[in-house]
């Protein structure tokens, strides 16, 4: 369990600014990062998502536009609805909309007991857009999926009436 007073960014900054020898600083920062990984695995998917959305200063409208998901998914994250396990496509839609990298997205999937299946063409397509298309909108990422005949990310296009 993460200690209540532990703050990873603050700790890293304090260590970097300390007078400790460089090799000790580097070794301790690596150890401190492992604290973050451990605490990550002790959280629910929605807890991690809530934290991530707060970091992005997200709101319902922005969330819906970026992910093409209904606002109820935003509410689930903010309210930490542990009982609602998202589908793989939902996790990928949020990751694609907010440009989460592939390793982070894989960790998110692990939190809900899922993983990309390397033999599933849809999963490989999702991995591709996460890996190869940072900076593109979700609509642009969906164009690749549509052209390939795969299910799009999100529930619908927000710009449609």
pLDDT tens-digit series, residues 84-114: 788 999 999 999 999 999 999 999 999 889 9
Do 20 and 70 share a domain, yes or no? no
Do 52 and 99 share a domain, yes or no? yes
Is residue 154 included in any domain, yes or no? no
Do 143 and 107 share a domain, yes or no? yes
pLDDT in tens, 24-82: 878 887 777 665 555 566 678 888 888 889 888 999 999 999 999 988 889 888 886 66
Structural domain count of the chain: 2
Q: Which two tokens stand for residue 107?
A: 């960790």
Is residue 12 included in any domain, yes or no? yes
Please return the burial class of 11, using the count of CB atoms within 10 Å of its CB with bins 0-12, 13-18 and 19+: middle
Do 19 and 83 share a domain, yes or no? no
* Domain assignment of residue 18, given as a range: 8-41
Instruction: Tell me: pLDDT of 3 over 50.
Output: no
Do 77 and 116 share a domain, yes or no? yes
Do 34 and 49 share a domain, yes or no? no
Do 59 and 130 share a domain, yes or no? yes
Is residue 3 included in any domain, yes or no? no
pTM higher than 0.85 for the full model? no
Q: What is the largest CA-CA distance in the chain?
A: 61
Sign, Cα dihedral of 61, 74, 68, 49: positive
Do 114 and 126 share a domain, yes or no? yes
Do 132 and 114 share a domain, yes or no? yes
């Amino acid at each position: 369990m993460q200690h209540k007073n532990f703050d990873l960014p603050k700790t890293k900054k304090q260590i970097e600014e300390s007078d400790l020898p460089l090799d000790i600083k580097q070794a301790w920062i690596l150890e401190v990062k492992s604290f973050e990984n451990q605490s990550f695995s002790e959280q629910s998917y929605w807890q991690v998502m809530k934290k991530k959305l707060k970091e992005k200063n997200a709101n319902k409208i922005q969330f819906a536009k970026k992910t093409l998901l209904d606002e109820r998914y935003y509410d689930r994250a903010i309210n930490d609805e542990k009982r609602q396990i998202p589908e793989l496509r939902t996790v990928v839609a949020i990751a694609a909309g907010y440009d989460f990298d592939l390793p982070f997205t894989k960790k998110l999937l692990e939190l809900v007991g899922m993983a990309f299946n390397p033999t599933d063409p849809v999963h490989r397509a999702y991995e591709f857009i996460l890996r190869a298309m940072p900076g593109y909108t979700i609509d642009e990422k969906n164009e690749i999926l549509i052209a390939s005949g795969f299910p799009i990310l999100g529930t619908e296009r927000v710009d449609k009436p």
